[in-house]
């Protein structure tokens, strides 16, 4: 892509922020979905303990990505939010209700079931609309002369719904792998038993979506065959599934989670390289969407040099402090 250094900086920063959000908030949204599949109160409490120190920090990366899109690529921001206004509102409502439910259920007595359902449904809604938004981008938004010209429900299609279901299964897999890392005893075994069929479901949905794109002859399908170097990412995804399965078979705690992280990276990189150099596929390029150089420079010396490094430092520090296994009534056990 023929981009200026500042344009390269901001598009890579945005891509990195979204990847970090996908990996970090993916497992705690997955925990929220798994939370609704068990009635064991002790397990539910332990699940929430595994993400209590990090869940709000994980969502900071989504805010950073949204702010970066608004400031550095205003045209793409305007098109994206015009086309996906309803799913974005649903996602924000789900995040808000999920956060409120997370805090309220700790002290609730009479209405704990309400907050339990809110935590589960909020996590599920956020995941489904994120996947549907990705599906809408793959099918392409109706854009003419730099403006969205479709209707408010143009994003809603069977393919988008299938993408939402696929992301829900992926996040649930990621959450189960996180529980294996962070818990002991029966809960860890419960999560471990669910990983094989969740991984199988994710692989099956990915194959169905791949075939769907080919049959529908979407524009992105041609990019999946040329150039051939893009196949390195599906190969990485295959390696991730093998590594994940090996970790489960050998009863390793960290291997399944590292495999699910690699699987998300492979899928994300495949999508990004399929869209390049377009930011709104296949209508608006990164160069066309970028703000003027003076604006990008101002952002670089503000957010680029200070805000983003602080968020990264905070994330690393929190995960280091709260590393190790979680136990009921203890919160954290330091690693040996």
DSSP symbols for 28-94 = HHHHHHHHTT---HHHHHHHHHHHTTTHHHHHHHHHHHHHHHHHH-HHHHHHHHHHTHHHHHHHHHH
Percent of all residues in the chain with a pLDDT value above 90, rounded to a whole number: 68
Domain 5-321 belongs to what topology? Formate dehydrogenase/DMSO reductase fold (1.20.1630)
pLDDT tens, residue by residue, 62-72? 999 999 999 99
Average pLDDT over residues 172-200: 94
Residue showing tokens 């899109």: 69
pLDDT tens, residue by residue, 130-142? 999 999 999 999 8
Handedness of CA 68, 73, 75, 81 (dihedral sign): negative
Residue 184 tokens, joined: 């002991």
Beta-bridge partners for 285: 278
pLDDT tens, residue by residue, 213-257? 988 878 888 887 777 788 899 999 999 999 999 999 988 999 999
Say whether pLDDT at 169 is over 60. yes
pLDDT tens, residue by residue, 153-165? 889 999 999 999 9
The confidence band for 327, taking pLDDT boundaries of 50, 70 and 90, is confident
- Say how far apart CA 229 and CA 224 lie, in whole Å: 10
Q: How far is CA 59 from the centre of its chain?
A: 10
159 class by beta-carbon count within 10 Å (0-12 exposed, 13-18 middle, 19+ buried): middle
**pLDDT score recorded for residue 200:** 94
Q: Which residues, 6 or more positions from 315, have their beta carbon under 8 angstroms from its beta carbon?
A: 20, 24, 57, 60, 61
**pLDDT score recorded for residue 144:** 86
**pLDDT score recorded for residue 105:** 83
Percent of all residues in the chain with a pLDDT value above 70, rounded to a whole number: 97
- Say how far apart CA 75 and CA 164 lie, in whole Å: 25
CB atoms within 10 A of CB 172: 27
Average pLDDT over residues 277-288: 92
For the chain, what are the domain ranges? 5-321
**pLDDT score recorded for residue 328:** 58
Say whether pLDDT at 329 is over 60. no
Average pLDDT over residues 102-122: 85
Average pLDDT over residues 35-51: 92
Q: What is the DSSP letter of 147?
A: E
CB atoms within 10 A of CB 71: 17
The confidence band for 331, taking pLDDT boundaries of 50, 70 and 90, is very low
- Say how far apart CA 262 and CA 256 lie, in whole Å: 10
Residue 331 tokens, joined: 């919160």
Any alpha helices (H) in 105-226, and if so which ranges? 112-139, 158-182, 185-216, 219-223
The confidence band for 334, taking pLDDT boundaries of 50, 70 and 90, is very low
Mean pLDDT of the chain: 90
Say whether pLDDT at 332 is over 50. no
Nearest Cα residue to 207 out of 267, 297, 133, 137: 267
Say whether pLDDT at 194 is over 50. yes
Encode 248-280: b = buried (16+ Cβ within 10 Å), e = exposed: beeebbebbbbbbbbbbbbbbbbbeebbbebbb
**pLDDT score recorded for residue 335:** 39
Average pLDDT over residues 63-91: 93
**pLDDT score recorded for residue 17:** 95
DSSP symbols for 132-143 = HHHHHHHH---E
**pLDDT score recorded for residue 1:** 66
pTM (predicted TM-score)? 0.93
pLDDT tens, residue by residue, 19-36? 999 999 999 999 999 999
Average pLDDT over residues 277-301: 92
């Amino acid at each position: 892509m023929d981009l200026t250094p500042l344009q390269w900086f901001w598009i890579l920063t945005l891509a990195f922020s979204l990847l970090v959000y996908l990996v970090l908030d993916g497992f705690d949204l997955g925990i929220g979905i798994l939370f609704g599949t068990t009635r064991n109160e002790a397990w539910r409490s332990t699940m929430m303990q595994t993400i209590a120190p990090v869940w709000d920090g994980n969502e900071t990366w989504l805010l950073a990505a949204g702010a970066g899109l608004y400031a550095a690529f205003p045209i793409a921001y305007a098109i994206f939010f015009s086309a996906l206004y309803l799913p974005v509102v649903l996602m924000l409502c789900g995040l808000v209700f999920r956060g409120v439910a997370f805090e309220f259920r700790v002290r609730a007595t009479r209405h704990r079931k309400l907050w339990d359902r809110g935590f589960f449904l909020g996590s599920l809604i956020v995941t489904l609309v994120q996947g549907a938004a990705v599906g809408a981008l793959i099918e392409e938004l109706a854009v003419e002369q730099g403006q969205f010209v479709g209707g408010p429900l143009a994003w809603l299609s069977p393919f988008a719904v299938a993408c939402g279901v696929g992301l829900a299964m992926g996040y649930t897999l990621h959450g189960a792998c996180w529980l294996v890392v962070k818990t002991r005893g029966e809960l860890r075994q419960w999560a471990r038993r669910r990983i094989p069929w969740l991984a199988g479901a994710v692989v099956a949905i990915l194959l169905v979506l791949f075939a769907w794109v080919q049959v529908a002859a979407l524009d992105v399908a041609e990019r999946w065959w040329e150039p051939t170097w893009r196949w390195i990412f599906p190969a990485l995804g295959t390696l991730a599934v093998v590594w994940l399965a090996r970790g489960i078979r050998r009863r390793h705690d960290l291997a399944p989670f590292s495999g699910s992280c690699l699987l998300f990276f492979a899928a994300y990189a495949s999508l990004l390289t399929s869209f390049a150099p377009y930011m709104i596929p296949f209508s608006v390029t990164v160069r066309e969407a970028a703000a003027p150089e003076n604006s990008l420079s101002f952002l670089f010396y503000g957010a680029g040099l200070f805000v983003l490094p602080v968020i990264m430092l905070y994330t690393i520090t929190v995960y280091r402090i709260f590393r190790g296994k979680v136990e009921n009534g203890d919160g954290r056990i330091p690693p040996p």
